[in-house]
Structure 1
Amino acid sequence: MYATTLGDDGAELRPLDPWYAEEFLAHLDRGREFIGQYIAFGARATDVDSARDVLTDHADKRAADSGGLHGIWLDRKLVGGVLFRTFDAQQGTCEVGCWLEPAAAGRGLVTRAATVLIDWAVEQRGIHRVEWYAASGNRPSINVARRLGMSQDGVLRENHLHRGVRHDTEVWSVLAPEWRAARARAAHNDH
């Protein structure tokens, strides 16, 4: 339907709709162990039908204005994505998250894609507070939060049980005025 270019390296961001089920499943299978280190994202997508169900659930959230899933394509290959895990326009809050297969790591794709989502949430939808949750051991995710200019709000100690291990969860956020000021500084520095 539509795509947003994420730079000059062939990366694109687009809605990850149910008709991408086969490609989504192949992507998850390539990165399932890497993706699942700290989160269960995609764990229930084990065949094309269950992958379609996962994508349909997220499409329904987008239609209900309570979330949304966007894929990151690099050279026409799905390699990861970003999502609004939660989205509450009335309260002015949302949570942004991500996942990525290992071959695409280290290219800044998630940071660029999350920037597009946050820009849209703040500027188009009036979101005031954007949150980012990450297991304390998930340094790449925490580094994305830092690159996005977020501040650490705190740590939820051993609140997340994943694969039999209790993980601390770091809560990061950026407020709309902070986001706008950082984006203005970045635009000024580009000139």
Structure 2
Amino acid sequence: MKSNDTDNGCTVAVADVVTEADTGPDTDTDPDSATVRVPCWRGRTVTFAALDADSDAELMHGWRSDPVAAHEIGFWPRSLPALRERLERDRDDHDRDDFLVLLPDGTPIGHIALTDQDMVDGTAEVQLMMDPQYRGQSHGTDAVDALTDLAFGELPMQRLQAVTHTTNVPALAVLARAGFVREGTRRSACLHRGRRHDVAVLSLLRREWEVLARPRSWDA
């Protein structure tokens, strides 16, 4: 069941655009560089590690404060303590799983989640947020591929859904590359920056995932 404490109703699958910062992190100033995380799932170029509501809150706060993420995903501004409290509530939600997206060397480059999991109907929603420095490098597509492999390969899911603004072309492209099909539009579904926005609804069915012509995560 989805919490009422959403951001603004415009939850996006990904804000995966190319920025001038696409040159990698400054390892000398990365406050997260000493944190050790244990990968629990892998894709072709990324791995997943469980999100820690305590140690990862500052990292998540920085990503959510990025102007592109705030605009495309529609995050409501939150203080660090408020975000940590939100992450703790998400941690206790048994209908969702949250992961950090990592490079092979352990560098965290994004957050991905499988939310609103319904094990009876076999449905869930995919959400993704990438570090600004790593957008436009195909890591977002690989992360979505890996999450769909987890959902269909290890869980009894039959349908995955993702939603985003109809104007969020990069997100729509990432989802299309991952096999998602646009199935409809929720007209004037959210308010952002004083304007109403349409929201695109996309989905990937198990039978569609089964015929995707790509290696699965366990083949990587």
For the criterion TM > 0.5, the same-fold answer is: yes
Q: Deviations over 1:142-173 (max 9, x none)?
A: 01110111111011111111232211111111
Instruction: Give the Cα separation in 2 of the matches to 1:123 and 1:186.
Output: 14
Q: Does 1:115 align with 2:145?
A: yes
Q: Does 1:14 align with 2:14?
A: no
| Number of corresponding residues | 178
With a CA cutoff of 8 Å and minimum separation of 6, indicate the structure with the bigger relative contact order: 2
Deviation of 1:40 after TM superposition, in Å, equals 3.0
Q: Which position in structure 1 is the counterpart of 2:14?
A: none
| Alpha-carbon distance between aligned partners in 2 of 1:6 and 1:186, rounded to the nearest angstrom | 11
| TM-score where L is the length of structure 1 | 0.82
Report whether the alignment pairs 1:169 with 2:203.
Answer: no
Q: Does 1:150 align with 2:180?
A: yes
The match for 1:88 is 118
Task: State the match for 2:63 in structure 1.
Answer: 27
RMSD over aligned Cα atoms? 2.2
Letter aligned with residue 169 of structure 1: V
- The residue correspondences of 1:67-146 to structure 2 (distance < 5 A) are 67-74=96-103, 76-146=106-176
Larger strand proportion of the pair? 1
- Which consecutive unaligned segments of at least 5 residues does structure 2 have? 1-36
Q: What amino acid is the match of 1:28?
A: R
Instruction: State the distance in 2 between where 1:35 and 1:55 align.
Output: 17
Q: Is there any run of 5+ residues in structure 1 with no aligned partner, and where? A: none
- Given the alignment of the two structures, is residue 56 of structure 1 paired with residue 88 of structure 2, yes or no? yes
TM-score by length of 2: 0.72
